[in-house]
Amino acid sequence: MKRKALRLTLLAGLLYIGLPYLLVQRLGLGLIREGTQRRRELALTFDDGPDPASTPAVLDALAELGARATFFVLLPKAQARPDLIARMLAEGHEVAPHAVKHSHAWLRTPWSAVLEPVRAARQLEALTDHPVRLYRPPHGAYTLATLLGMHRAGVVGAHWNVEGRDWHPASTPESTALRVMARVHPGAVVVLHDAGPGARNTVPALPALLGLLKDRGYGLVTLSELEGAMPLHWKGLPRRLAGLLDDLFDTVGKVRRVAGRRDTIFRAGQVRFPLPQQTLQGGVRLLHGAGAIEIHVNNPLMVDQGVRAALRQARLDLRLLAQDIRADPEWRHAEAVFCISALRPLLESLGFETLPVPPPAARRLSLWATVLRRAYGTPVKEKPQTVLSVLSMQRFLERYGAERSA
């Protein structure tokens, strides 16, 4: 009987917490967590306010640059300061419920977890006289009861894919800004805090952070305005899984984002040259196994922006890669930069020469390219031809503005 009770308890825990954690909180099914990467815009979101000691400074910084954001508010605080809620709405920001009581969903009773989104949505609607569409539970945590309550309230979960970690004891205003700038990309949803422990870093960091985002060309919109910010359903799951596979590949293969940023068109890592000995343009001889830098495409950015826009960005990003190579003692001794892909026309226009890939490898890589195209929703009109595009390191650095160090 004890074993049976234990199995039933474990099964209940899996259904109540485990599946919502894996499918919703981690994979993002049914949640809004990003927009399309077609436009260079993102959504800043702020949790845990309003606080009269910190929220006005956040609003001032946003107003200075004409930026709009989404505020997920705690209802007791919102009801205590309706003037701040009114200012948010008057200045074009979006206001959505965070919670009535800020407690983790796993620590609530099921009935309390069901009622929380309903109460939060209804109380905010009464305060603002605006319909409520979005809801972000405390800590971004879900249980089966939370999901039932959200369905009853008629709201959609709003998660994020860039976290500033402004709340962490080791964080500083500088580290918060650097962390956000390293992770932002078109369509990103960024979570920061305008109240609570995170405000001590976000408030002083925000003016400089907004300036950096503007300098990089980002428009700042509300979550509801972010293009393509729709709940993730099963049809979009292959793209989400492909992105997770890219991240896993980068971790295992020690592949880095160019310039340490997620909004560049390329990633890169140091490898050995895979083809037999080759003689490149200019008479450069490249041996099998020679040290080389292999570049990989940022697939979601390439798919959403299209080849023409990607070409414009690729020229800039290869200059950033040249800076990375010059700054890295190991990378700058590599003998070539190459990419194995189906992007021959793009890379030829960037100065790369094309070499054939052995048939077994070409078939395997073409199949993988087809899988990625289907995952990211790109029509497969014909079987992609996989080639190796390469530049000697000397020619690469000459073309993209860096001098090779001895």
* Active site (catalytic) residues: 47, 193
Q: Give the burial string for 293-310 (b: 16+ CB within 10 Å, else e).
A: bbbbbbbbbbbbbeeeeb
Pairwise CA distance, residues 318 & 194, whole Å? 37
Q: Any idea how long the chain is? A: 406
- CA 351 vs CA 201, 264, 311, 338, 395: distances in Å: 44, 19, 12, 11, 9
Yes or no: say if 187 and 223 are a contact pair by the CB < 8 Å rule.
Answer: no
77 three-class SS = helix
Q: Which residues pair with 47 in a beta bridge?
A: 72, 193
Pairwise CA distance, residues 95 & 83, whole Å? 13
Please enumerate in sequence order all residues whose Cβ is within 8 A of that of 129, keeping only pairs 6 or more positions apart, or say none.
none
Yes or no: say if 42 and 229 are a contact pair by the CB < 8 Å rule.
Answer: no
The residue assigned the tokens 């709201």 is: 155
CA 192 to chain centre: 15
Torsion, Cα of 24, 252, 392, 325 (10° steps): 80
- CA 286 vs CA 273, 360, 402: distances in Å: 8, 22, 21
